[in-house]
Chains A and B, each alone.
Chain A
Amino acid sequence: MAAGVIGAFTAVLRRELRLAARARAEWLMPPLFFVIVVTLFGLGAKPNDPLLADFAPAILWVGALLAALLTLERLFRADYEDGTLEQIFIAPAPAIAAIAAKLSAHWLLTGLPLALLAAPLAAALGFPSAALPALTAGLALGTPVLSLIGGFAAALTVGLPRAGVLLPLLVLPLVTPIVIFGAGAARAAQSGLPADAPLYFLAAVLVLGLTLLPWATTAALRNAFE
């Protein structure tokens, strides 16, 4: 059985990466969107406003969150519509292996680039370079939770003709702790305080999310067949 689980996980992961390689524009959209949002914040403020550095944690976190939302709607939609999801649920390996692979792929293709992009963007906003590790660590711990919660919300709305506005409505209240702790870690580091407390909280939330959300997502997808 274990071999079946690993086989299903790698099969789905390989397929997701292959699909991403075939539709590159789609996965370049979130990082590009992230850059644009941050640029617009810069343009909305006074030129070289030093206050931007103070707001950098909030700007970067909200930007990353909104960028991660962009690709969510399509996460399960295509597989639901073309019947692949049925094959995943019929297969002998537990469906959660395949679902976990899809969530991992979403993080690899959306969350990870955003986390890596945050440091240069933060520097552009005048964020102190000594605090960059805390910011990046926060995003590295927080973006997987965004993928998990986002995947759960996408699974709840997979059968709907248009998830549209509903998806952010479901995701945003659930991710508030992530934004608070993530931006909090960056702010703490920015003012020279230790950032480990909020980072530990982020890690705890990530562990909790990893334990619960793949199951909840699988249940939500199964529910969509009825």
Chain B
Amino acid sequence: MWTWFHRLASPPTFYRLADRLVPWLGLLAAGLLGYGIFGGLLLAPADYQQGDAFRIIYVHVPAAALSLSVYVLMAAAGAVAVIWRIKLAECVLVAAAPIGASFTALALVTGMLWGKPMWGAYWVWDARLTSELILLFLYAGVIGLNQAIEEPRAAARACGLLALIGVINVPIVHYSVEWWNSLHQGSTILKLGRPNMSADMARPLYAALLGTYCFFGVALLRRVQNELLLRERGTAWVKEQLRSAHV
């Protein structure tokens, strides 16, 4: 188990594995997202209260889910980087931050666009919107810290510590903001047992959600590969990789 883990964490092995995974994940992402968008925008019936405006959830919900998942992934990678000093974890952490920040920004923008017809204003101090904004600041802190520290490995470990403290803070922020005020409509899909969404609305949503995760996988793997090439430049395996790619 541990030897397997160590082999996977070695940069050349991971690089080649990523090369093999990316096309499949990409295909999966395209299919799922294609169905999700098509099904969500055209096939699903309009909401009886919100009309067509609800259709933004096919972008908003996946983006919001990713914004949190990516931060948790960053914190996990940060823990591995800080405790075991594994280079691959450092790359994952650093590579994931801008993607997560983009999803957070997307969730915020779509949330605001949705808020205009629903609440009558682009911005209301609603619990989830506000925590999402603070999450964006947390991402900005990680990205800023990583760019400020010159030595890349020390930068990644500093970011790891920050992400770890940040991930503990996220539920506290969320809870505090919720305590402070809540206008947001209740969670729609995570209510197990009694789904309050019709199946032909929900199916494209699940597809879009899964598709976005796959898309994130592709983006992350490619960014990690670039990080690895950059950090390991000058080593034999990178030179060989570049030679075989005819660069």
Contact = CB atoms under 8 A, between A and B. Distances in A.
Chains A, B in direct contact (C-beta < 8 Å) = yes
Interface in A165-189: 166, 169-170, 172-174, 176-177, 180-181, 184
Interface in B129-172: 134-135, 137-138, 140-141, 144-145, 148-149, 151, 153-154, 157-158, 161-162, 164-166, 168-169, 172
A136 B175 CA distance: 23
A209 to B, nearest CB: 9
Contacts of B161: 152, 156, 216, 219-220, 223
Q: Is the interface of B mostly helix, strand, loop or mixed?
A: helix
B144 A169 contact: yes
Interface residues on A, range: 20 to 34
A170 B137 CA distance: 8
A40 B57 CA distance: 44
Contacts of A45: none
B168 A159 contact: no
B4 interface: no
Contacts of A157: 145, 148
B179 interface: yes
A189 to B, nearest CB: 16
A177 B176 contact: yes
A159 B176 contact: no
Contacts of A176: 134, 173, 176-177
Interface in B173-232: 173, 175-177, 179-180
Contacts of B162: 156, 170
B169 A184 contact: no
22 contacts: A149-B165, A152-B161, A156-B145, A157-B148, A159-B149, A166-B141, A169-B137, A170-B141, A173-B138, A173-B166, A176-B176, A177-B172, A177-B173, A177-B175, A198-B179, A205-B172, A219-B82, A220-B161, A223-B154, A223-B158, A224-B154, A224-B158
